Amino acid sequence: MEKEKIIQVKNLTVKYGDHTILDSVSFDVYSGEILVILGGSGCGKTTLLRHMIGLETSFSGSVAIDDEMITDKDESQMFNVFQKIGVLFQGSALIGSMTIGENIALPLQEYANLPQRSIQLLIQTKLASVNLLGFDRHLPSEISGGMKKRAGLARAMALNPRILFLDEPSAGLDPVTSAEIDQLILKINHELSTTIVIITHELASIFKVASRIIMLDKSKKGIIAEGDPNYLKEHSENRLVRRFFNRNPDL
């Protein structure tokens, strides 16, 4: 049975002035998988993610989510798409002057026509799902880095999205907290069948959670590897790929 393509990126080219970041990049994301996008600094990982969620306009090419073309749509035209996706930005991007509960309420107030009582119930449900029940009245400055990541994840999950986009979810965290985030990602994927796209270069997390990876390269301005990270670690014919997965510059 053919797997459902939930995201389709076709011939995506991104330029800033005369500088090309991505050149004719094409790949699909399948429903229910955890796809990790990785690569060295400056290869275009976060740039690619921003185009996949409709925050930037490409030079050419297209992105479709759930068979709906999002390329060149303005914010008002993206209303239906934004209801299907949740995003955990790098650094969590919580609004510091608002409580954790108020941060989680934002997408619900924007995209869901719900009474306040239902919103409050959903806030508690989402906090419980990321083990933060009871922290709804705390400000972001009053909780730890790992808790901020989980709060950001709760906000990303507020609308029960089909797709989660996570930008460096483990960055800056200690190994134990990073492992807890990995477990939470797997739990969301397994229990809710949520499709998850992750930007990261954390090898431990990649091997733990990835169903599949695509690896970008700055010099090629595109994809140099795609597949199972465990297989690529041992069998890739590309030296850069083997060096990355084995964390060995001498390979």
**Are 141 and 99 in contact, with CB atoms under 8 Å apart?**
no
With cut-offs at 50, 70 and 90, classify the pLDDT of residue 3. Answer: confident
pLDDT (tens digit, 9 = 90+) per residue, 121-142? 999 999 999 999 999 999 999 9
Domain that holds residue 220: 1-78+198-251
Structural domain contains residue 190: no
Structural domain contains residue 234: yes
Whether residue 195 is predicted with pLDDT greater than 90 in this model: the reply is yes
Whether residue 247 is predicted with pLDDT greater than 90 in this model: the reply is no
What average pLDDT score do residues 87-105 get? Answer: 92
pLDDT at 80: 84
Structural domain contains residue 42: yes
Structural domain contains residue 137: no
Distances (CA, A) of 217 to 78, 131, 230: 30, 37, 19
Helix (H) or strand (E) holding 166: strand 163-167
What average pLDDT score do residues 211-240 get? Answer: 95
Structural domain contains residue 193: no
Number of structural domains in the chain: 1
Structural domain contains residue 16: yes
Collect all residues with Cβ–Cβ distance below 8 Å to 51 and sequence separation of at least 6: 12, 14, 57, 58, 63
pTM, two decimal places: 0.93
pLDDT at 48: 96
pLDDT at 59: 92
pLDDT (tens digit, 9 = 90+) per residue, 67-93? 999 987 877 778 888 889 999 988 788
With cut-offs at 50, 70 and 90, classify the pLDDT of residue 159. Answer: very high
CATH code of the domain in which 238 resides: 3.40.50.300
Helix (H) or strand (E) holding 127: helix 116-129
Q: Rounded distance, CA 206 to CA 37, Å?
A: 9
Q: What is the mean pLDDT of the chain?
A: 93
pLDDT (tens digit, 9 = 90+) per residue, 173-182? 899 999 999 9
pLDDT at 1: 67
pLDDT at 69: 92
What average pLDDT score do residues 106-123 get? Answer: 92
Collect all residues with Cβ–Cβ distance below 8 Å to 62 and sequence separation of at least 6: 8, 9, 10, 11, 12, 69, 71
pLDDT at 180: 93
pLDDT at 134: 94
pLDDT at 12: 97
Mapped onto helix, strand or coil, the DSSP state of residue 248 is coil
With cut-offs at 50, 70 and 90, classify the pLDDT of residue 185. Answer: very high
Q: Rounded distance, CA 105 to CA 112, Å?
A: 10
pLDDT at 10: 97
